[in-house]
Amino acid sequence: MCSVCREGELTPRTDATLSCPKCDSHYTCRGNQPDLRPEFAWHPDTALKKAKPDIELPAIELDDTERWQNAIKLFLRRSPKLYRFLVYTIGTAYYGGISSQRFVDKLGSDALVLSVGAGVLRLKGKRVIHLDYEPYAALEVVGDAHALPFADNTFDGVVCETLLEHVLEPERVIAEMERILKPGGQIYILMPFLFAFHAAPNDFSRLTHRGLAHRMKAFNIKTLRPFSGPASALNNILVDFFALVCSLGSRRLYRLFSIAFLPIFAPIKYLDILLNHHPEACRIASIFLCIAKKKEVEKKEVILQQEGLS
């Protein structure tokens, strides 16, 4: 579906691109991977100005450290298994909740699932679609989470792991995920709270458990708890704190120490095996897990709609 007008079904063109018959948007393809980012479907000589979502991406200049961090991540992501291994072993967060793979498995083999902001993570399942804004290899779709290129009520499940802090308008992204979910469909979200700034490619926000619950008011929340708890938050702060202290004002030394201290402080995060279960762990948790269910339409309302009375 076109991510600009949200109405047209895309059709292939002779030049190996896709076009929308409704608004004349054009999309490129890389092999079998369609690029459905709305910014790349902008044509001033058409009526798209009225149809395009009102998303204005500011020109934010990254500093040298942010560019360096992104370069390191992009390099490591060329080897997804190595990248995931490093994240789990010397990364600052302990992953102590229900995994996204377990969430997908519980939905059943016939469930159609979308992984939004998938990056290099690949979930197992015969009906899992992976989407990201960056054109990583093996993605089924390249697209913008602010304007998902799918019809309403399409998916049985949605996975959104540590993406919301990287988007300009998290409320819009949550609304988009709610739109494409079927009534009764489930969503899996990981959202940082106490976590250091990490540009990938940028970093905009954090949410407390109350803040996340408020933004999920269109859903019935089944689980909202620490995924990475207080020990992970402490680990995260210690790595950056000692990198700052030991670098003596030098950005180059800071970058060096921010990597060197990762394996030194990493064992601290495993205290979350115990701390995640503390009833007050949410106050200083590092990452929250939210599993929620899209509210189903009342039967009475469905009947009225069918009869044309609503």
Based on the fold, state whether residues 188 and 226 are members of the same structural domain: yes
Which two tokens mark 291? 């599993």
- Point out the least confidently predicted range of 40-44, 68-72, 245-249, 286-290: 40-44
Q: Show the domain range for 18.
A: 11-51
Based on the fold, state whether residues 153 and 20 are members of the same structural domain: no
Show the beta-strand stretches assigned E in 113-211.
Answer: 113-116, 128-132, 141-143, 155-161, 181-192
Based on the fold, state whether residues 122 and 28 are members of the same structural domain: no
The mean of the pLDDT values for the chain is 86
CA pair distance 126, 129, nearest whole angstrom = 9
CA pair distance 246, 255, nearest whole angstrom = 11
CA pair distance 286, 203, nearest whole angstrom = 15
CA pair distance 279, 167, nearest whole angstrom = 30
Q: Give the pLDDT of residue 256.
A: 95
Based on the fold, state whether residues 23 and 97 are members of the same structural domain: no
Nearest to residue 73, comparing CAs of 115, 120, 118, 116? 120
CA pair distance 229, 46, nearest whole angstrom = 50
Which tops the pLDDT comparison, 185 or 147?
A: 185
Based on the fold, state whether residues 41 and 71 are members of the same structural domain: no
With respect to residue 205, please indicate whether it lies within any of the assigned structural domains.
yes
Based on the fold, state whether residues 138 and 27 are members of the same structural domain: no
Q: Give the pLDDT of residue 297.
A: 72
What DSSP state is assigned to residue 16? Answer: S
Exposure of 7 in the CB half-sphere (CA atoms within 13 A): 9
Q: Give the pLDDT of residue 51.
A: 41
For residue 57, pLDDT over 70 is answered with no
Q: How confident is the model at residue 305 (pLDDT cuts 50, 70, 90)?
A: low
For residue 127, pLDDT over 70 is answered with yes
Cα 115 to Cα 122, 152, 308: the distances in Å are 9, 16, 35
Nearest to residue 162, comparing CAs of 127, 113, 111, 196? 196
Q: How confident is the model at residue 67 (pLDDT cuts 50, 70, 90)?
A: confident
Residue 50: is it exposed, middle or buried by C-beta count within 10 angstroms (0-12/13-18/19+)?
exposed
Exposure of 276 in the CB half-sphere (CA atoms within 13 A): 22
CATH label of the domain that carries residue 126: 3.40.50.150
What value does the mean pLDDT take over residues 38-49? 39
CA pair distance 294, 177, nearest whole angstrom = 10
Based on the fold, state whether residues 178 and 101 are members of the same structural domain: yes
Based on the fold, state whether residues 166 and 256 are members of the same structural domain: yes
Q: How confident is the model at residue 216 (pLDDT cuts 50, 70, 90)?
A: very high
Q: How confident is the model at residue 98 (pLDDT cuts 50, 70, 90)?
A: very high
What value does the mean pLDDT take over residues 193-206? 91
CA pair distance 162, 179, nearest whole angstrom = 20
Which tops the pLDDT comparison, 80 or 162?
A: 162
Pairing of β 155-161 and β 113-116? parallel
Which two tokens mark 141? 């779709």
Q: Give the pLDDT of residue 22.
A: 78
What is residue 137's three-state secondary structure?
A: coil
For residue 74, pLDDT over 60 is answered with yes
For residue 171, pLDDT over 60 is answered with yes
Q: What is the DSSP string of 84-101?
A: HHHHHHTSS----S--HH
Residue 237: is it exposed, middle or buried by C-beta count within 10 angstroms (0-12/13-18/19+)?
middle
Based on the fold, state whether residues 163 and 87 are members of the same structural domain: yes
Tokens 């961090």, located at residue: 69
